[in-house]
Amino acid sequence: MSKTTKIVVGVIVLILIILGVSNVGKRSVSGGPFKIGVILPLSGPAATMGESSKKSVELALSNIPEAKKLKVEIIYGDDQLDPKQTVSVAQKMIDTDGVSALITYSSPSSVADAWSGSTSQSD
């Protein structure tokens, strides 16, 4: 992954985390942390790219003030760069882990399908 790509990924992740932190009070009904699901290829053919992206997320978190950091929980999931796994992991994060936001390395349209299916069932 080029240096420019890493910077772009890092900036996007930082923006999403900051948006999540600013919405903690609005979206977290239980008073618990704002949960962000991060789906990356942590194993398989793209594991090195997934690990690099995970480090970008952790770097972005390190820039959040300590008081706000306690209000954010990152939940990692491994999709092995397989769209079917992406959907499965996203569905688990939505239904079981109760994430309020998802960040994915691959197949965002699959995650959107999983998310919309989950939210339409709860309406």
Mean pLDDT of 94-120: 71
Give the residue from 106, 52, 61, 59 showing the smallest Cα distance to 84.
106
Q: Which domains does the chain have, with CATH numbers?
A: 33-118 (3.40.50.2300)
pLDDT in tens, 34-90: 898 999 999 988 899 889 889 988 888 888 777 766 678 899 999 998 888 888 898
- pLDDT at res. 71: 79
Report which of 88, 93, 89 is spatially closest to residue 74, judged by C-alpha positions: 93
Percent of the chain with pLDDT over 70: 59
Q: Which amino acid is at 86?
A: T
**Under DSSP, is residue 58 helix (H, G, I), strand (E, B) or coil?**
helix
DSSP string across 59-90: HHHHTS-HHHHTTEEEEEEE-TT-HHHHHHHH
The larger pLDDT score, comparing residue 24 to residue 60, is at 60
Exposed e or buried b per residue across 35-46, where buried means at least 16 C-beta atoms within 10 angstroms of its C-beta: bbbbbbbbeeeb
Q: How far is CA 56 from the centre of its chain?
A: 12
Q: Is the model more confident about 10 or about 101?
A: 101
Average pLDDT in the 25-31 region?
Answer: 52
